[in-house]
Structure 1
Amino acid sequence: MTASMRLAQPEFWNRQLAERMAEMAEIRERGPFAHTSYINPLTAETESFYAATRYDEVVEISKRPKDFCSGKGAVSVPDMPEEALNFFGSFINMDDPRHARQRGIVARSFTPRQLQGVLDSVETICAEVIDGFCQDGEADLVQVFSQPFPLLIICDMMGIPRSEFETVLTATNVILGGGDPEYMGDGDPLEALFTAGMALTALMGELAEERRANPTDDLTSKLVHNDVGEDMLDPSEIAPFFILLAVAGNDTTRTAISHGMNLLGLNPDQRRLWQNDLDGIGPTAVEEVVRVASPVTYMRRTATRDLSLSGQDFVEGDKVVLMYASANRDPRIFDHPETFDVRRDPNPHLGFGGPGPHFCLGAHLARREVSVAFRQLLTRLPDIEVCGDPVPLQTMGMPLVGGIKSLPVRFTPTEPVGS
C-alpha cells in the first residue's frame, strides 16, 4: 500500500500525532495533491479523493468556493445521506447564498462584543472544572478537564440546563468519535449517529420553544427572537446549528487542550518559557498549540467544473480534501515546522480553516478558552505533568477531528478556589 493510500486507513489515524505527521511530510513532499482511494463505509464501494497537502493549495481552494464548493455531498470524505446532512451539517455543508444567510444570522450574535458575557464566563467555568479534580493528585485530563470545560461553556451560552450536560456530552462523543467503539457501541454506526443527532435535535427543539415563550439573555433567545426586523433562523435550522456548535466548538477546543498539554510534556523547555511568562507568551503559545495540534483534521470540497490547479487536473465532481495539519507543517511557509515553538511569530496557521467564507466563526472564543485553560492549569497546578501516553481515538477512517480520548496526568493536590 502506498503512503498516500494509508491516509484513508484507520491505522494511520490511530497512531500518535508525531508519527502521523512524519509520514504526512513524506506524502507532502511528493506533490501538492495525493490521489487516494478508499472504501466508502456507507456503500462498501471504492471511491477516491485528492488530498491537498500543501499550504498554498489549501489556501487557494479555500478562497475559491465557486470552483471548490461545500454544498455537494458533505464536508466529510464520503457523501452523506440528505437526512444526515440535515442533522450534522448546518451551514458548513452549504454554499452561498444559503450559507451566507445562515452564517450572517448567527454572526450577528457571535461577535466578541455580543459574546462578552460568555468570554467573561470562561474564567469562572474553568475554575469550577479545576475545582472538581484539583485535590485528587492524578487524573485523566480529557475526562476531568478537556472534555467538560468547553462543552459547559457552549451549554451555558445556549441556555442548556446543566441537568442535560450528560445528554449533550454522550451525543457529541458519538458524532465526532470517528466510529470509536467506546462511543459508538456495538450497533450500526449510522444508526448511532442518527440517534445522537435526534437526541440533540429534540433537546434544542424544546429549548427553542421555551425561549420563544420566555426569552432570556442566552444565544438561543437571540436566535429565535427578532426585535429589529432582521432575518432569523427557521425552527428547522436551530437544531443543526446547535449540533454544529456543540460538536465543532467543543471537540476542537477539547482536542487542542489535550494535545497542548502533551506537547508541553514533550517540550519541557517550551513549557518553562510559557509558564514563566504566562501573559507575555500566552498569545503566541496558543497559536502554536493550534498549529501543531491542528484539531480539525480536514474539510472536503467538491470541484464544480473541470479545472487545473498547481499542475493537477480536476473534473467536475472530484473530491478535494484540505489537509490542515499537513499544511500547517509545510516547510515552504513555516521555519522548522516540526518544532513546537511557543514564541513562533509570525504564525499564519490554518488551524481555524483557510481564508474564505467558511473560516471558523468561533475562532475568538476558542482562542480565549485555550488561553484561559493553560493559564489556570499552569498557575493552580504548577507541577502538572503527563504521566503516560495519550490514547487517540480508535477511528474507522479519516476523522474530522483528530482527538485524544485519554491523557493521564499527575500533580500536587491543592484546595479548590470555590471552597
Structure 2
Amino acid sequence: MAQPTRALRVLIATDTYPPDVNGAGYFTHRLAEGMAGRGHQVHVVCPSERGAPYVAVNGAVTEHRLRSAPIPFQESMRAALPLGMGGHISRLLARMDPDVVHVQSHFTLSRSAQRRARAAGIPVVLTNHFMPDNLYAHAHLPSAVHGMAGALAWRDMVGVAAEADYVTTPTPRAAALLREKGFAGTVEDISCGIDLERFHPRPGDREAARSKFGLPERDTIVFVGRLDAEKRIDDTIRALAAVSGERDVQLALAGTGQREGELRALAAELGVADRVFFLGFVPDAELPLVYAAGDVFAIAGVAELQSIATLEAMSTGLPVVAADAMALPHLVEEGRNGFLFPAGDALHLADRLLTVLGSPRETLGAASREIAQRHDHHRSLARFEDVYRRLQGREPLRLRAEKVVAA
C-alpha cells in the first residue's frame, strides 16, 4: 500500500512582497498562499514594510519581516538591511529545516537566502522575474549607460542563477532570454498563473463598475499597472488621441507611478485630458471591476516577462492590443483574441484599437478567456510542487560539485 506523501516545508525568500505593488510581489504572495492551501508548511522571509523586524502569521503563511530601509527614488518599496540578515536567515533555516528554499530574485535578501541554504545543504529553486528595463527609471540612470548597466546586471543575475539547484521563469520567451544572456543550465518555464475564478467575464457588472470609477458610458480602453517609463503609457495616450477623432473612446489607467504628472501633461497637450482617467491605486479586491469596466485592454510595454495584468484582462474576457515585445506575443493570437503592434508605434496601436472596437468584441473576448485558462494558477502550483518534490532529499548542487572535484 502506497504511503501518503508528507507535507513539504517550504521557505520562500523574496525582496518584494505585499504591500509592495508589483507583479513579482503579487506572484510570490499567491505562491505562498497557494502552497499553504495545498497543505504545506510555508514560511516567507521578506523586508519589513514598517522598517522594524517582526514575525506574523498571515492565514496559513508565517511571514518573517526583516529590518528594512527605504529604497532611494522608490517610495513604494523597502529593502532588507544586510547587517544581521545572514545570521537571521541561518537561524530560521536551522529551526524550520525546510525541504526546499525558493528565492525570487538575485537581489540582496534572496541572494543571502540562497547562499545560506546551500551552505546548509538545502536545495534551492530560483525564479527569475528580472528585467533591467524595470530598474532604469527607478535608478534614474541616463539612457547612455543603459546598455552597459544592463549587461552588468544580467551577468550578476546569471552568476547567481548558476548556483541554484533549479531555475524557473514565467514564459518560454523569458527562459530563452536567460539562455541568451549566458545561463547554461536547465530553465523550466512555469506561468505565474492567475485566479480564473476571481477574474472572469462579468458583463452584468459593467455599468456598476463604470459608475464606481466615474467613467462615462463610451468605449473604454483599460490599462492596469505602474505608470512608469518602461510601460510606455505615453504611446497609449497618443493612440487615444488618434482614435478619438473617429470613435467616442476613453482610457482608464489603474495604478500609480513616477510618470503620472508627465502623462497628465501629455493628455492635456494632445487635447484628450477629459478622456484619460487616472484611477490611482485600486485595492486588489476591487481590481476585477476595472477590467469589467473596459472594452479592450492595451499594453505598450517592452519589458514584460509575462504580464499578469494582461492575463487578468484576458481571463475577464477582454480583447487585447499589445506591443510585439518580450513575452506579450505569447498571449495574443493575432486576429483571434486581439492584435500586436510594433513597439513604439502609436499610430499602429491606434489602428489596432479601432479594429478591435469595430469588431465583434464578444468573440475576441471569449478567445481571450480560453487562452487565459492555460494559465490557471492551480496548474502552476502543481508544477512548482512537482519541482519541490523532485528536489526533496536530492543532494544540493554544492555537494554534488564538491564530489566531482574530489573525484
Normalising by the smaller structure, the TM-score range is under 0.3
TM-score of the pair, normalised by structure 2: 0.25
TM-score of the pair, normalised by structure 1: 0.24
More helix as a share of residues: 1
More strand as a share of residues: 2
Instruction: Find the structure with the greater CA-based Rg.
Output: 2
Greater relative contact order (Cα < 8 A, sep 6+)? 1
